[in-house]
A and B are shown apart, each in its own frame.
Chain A
Amino acid sequence: MNDRKTLTFALMDPPYESARTTTAFRLLHAAIAQGHDVNVFAYEGAVALPFARQAPHANATHGRSAEEERHPVPREWVDALAAMAREKGTAFDWVNCGLCVDERGVGEAVACARRGSPADFWKMAEASHNTLVIGTR
């Protein structure tokens, strides 16, 4: 029996605003770690997650330099998931809603993220064993 599944996730929250973002990335990590193929449709604020110009910063309140702080930037999380999928030999497809990208001016995304549309989300869901929507609240 082949337990490998194709799973689609829709994310909606922007970076640095909600614990749902971390939870979503943990779910993506777990799915890839178990050998499943993963699609992500980033909608509305979530299209900023793979924005290439995110920059980590020092934090004087924490008393750490930028190098010591290693502040999380979600674009690195997206890249790290793609790297993990390559290592595991699974598929990882991140699609940003193009209109949402244009609204926010975040068109410069990391290489593993591509521009798409709600039609891509529909196609991914149709081709998946299951779809999980994590909407903004």
Chain B
Amino acid sequence: METLQVISGAYRATYEEQDDTILWLTQAMVAAGARMAVLLRCNAVNYAVRAQQAPALAIGTWQQAHPPAIAADLARIVASGVPVHVVREDAEARGLRAGDLAEGVHLVRQGEVADLVARHGRVWMW
């Protein structure tokens, strides 16, 4: 049974975690044999932007070695065969065009989301 991971809230603790916790969870479960798909909606559509880059963080005398690399994480998820869907209206509302997004992601209309949900045995709304 394939699980649809619906991610609505982005960048919640990405500097502390060095990634997005749900993208990480998806990768870890896929590595364990799970069949997963991802739907990015609301501000999480920004995870699909290929040109994003997070600078290393400095707090006091502490310097971060590995800042989050969301674009690379998402590309790795796509390359692993996990379908990644992006709600087109949410992307357009943020000024994002198809050319701004990572290769391999699928733009879906808001009106198609119900069908996408129906095609998955499990739907986890994060």
Contacts and interface: CB of A to CB of B under 8 A. Distances in A.
Contacts of A83: 60-61
B57 to A, nearest CB: 7
B31 interface: yes
Interface stretch (B15-23, B45-53, B111-119): B15-23
A15 B16 contact: yes
A70 B65 contact: yes
Given A80-B59, A87-B61, A62 B66 contact: yes
Given A61-B24, A72-B18, A21 B62 contact: no
Interface in A107-133: none
B27 interface: yes
Contact of A21 (B16, B58, B61, B66): B16
A18 B16 CA distance: 9
Interface of chain A: mostly helix, strand, loop or mixed = helix
Interface in B21-73: 21, 24, 27-28, 31, 57-62, 64-66
B59 A19 contact: no
Contacts, number: 77
Given A80-B62, A84-B60, A62 B19 contact: yes
A31 to B, nearest CB: 11
Interface residues of B, number: 23
Interface stretch (B6-14, B83-91, B100-108): B6-14
Contacts of B31: 60-61
Nearest to A82: B60
Given A61-B27, A61-B31, A72 B60 contact: no
Contact of B66 (A61, A69, A79, A85): A69
A32 B59 CA distance: 10
B44 to A, nearest CB: 13
A9 to B, nearest CB: 14
Interface in A64-120: 64, 68-72, 74, 76-77, 79-85, 87
8 contacts: A16-B16, A61-B24, A61-B28, A62-B66, A69-B65, A77-B60, A77-B62, A84-B60
Interface of B: 11-19, 21, 24, 27-28, 31, 57-62, 64-66
